[in-house]
């Protein structure tokens, strides 16, 4: 399933794999900053990504990955990221509508 990314993002990252990789890496950096560095660094990174790379979808991506980690650890619903990938696009569509930064 296509990822719910804007056209400018698709132009920079034409394949699903490239889109996912860019979203995943940016989200993991944001999560690391929030969890292990400082809330201010996390917020600064999110703002920088939004302004410099137009990553309006990043807060939703962070939310989806956090949910995956929570469900993986608590429910054993997913054993690994590969099992989660088939529903990643759907989860991101929902999160994109409700998660704002």
pLDDT tens for 31-40 read 999 999 999 9
C-alpha distances in Å from residue 16, one per residue of 20, 41, 53: 6, 29, 18
pTM: 0.87
Alpha carbons 51 and 35: distance in angstroms, whole number: 22
| pLDDT tops 90 at residue 1 | no
Q: How confident is the model over 48-88, as pLDDT tens digits? A: 999 999 999 999 999 999 999 988 878 777 788 898 898 89
Break the chain into its structural domains and give their ranges.
Answer: 7-98
Alpha carbons 80 and 9: distance in angstroms, whole number: 26
Residue 76's pLDDT is 72
Alpha carbons 77 and 67: distance in angstroms, whole number: 11
Residue 101's pLDDT is 61
Helix (H, G, I), strand (E, B) or coil at 57: coil
């Amino acid at each position: 399933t296509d990822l719910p990314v804007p056209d400018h993002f698709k132009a920079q990252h034409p394949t699903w794999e490239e889109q996912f990789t860019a979203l995943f890496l940016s989200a993991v950096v944001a999560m690391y900053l929030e969890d292990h560095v400082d809330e201010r660094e996390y917020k600064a990174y999110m703002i920088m990504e939004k302004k410099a790379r137009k990553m309006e979808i990043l807060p939703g991506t962070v939310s989806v990955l956090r949910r995956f980690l929570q469900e993986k650890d608590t429910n054993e619903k997913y054993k690994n990221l590969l099992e989660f990938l088939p529903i990643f696009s759907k989860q991101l569509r929902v999160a994109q509508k409700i998660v704002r930064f």
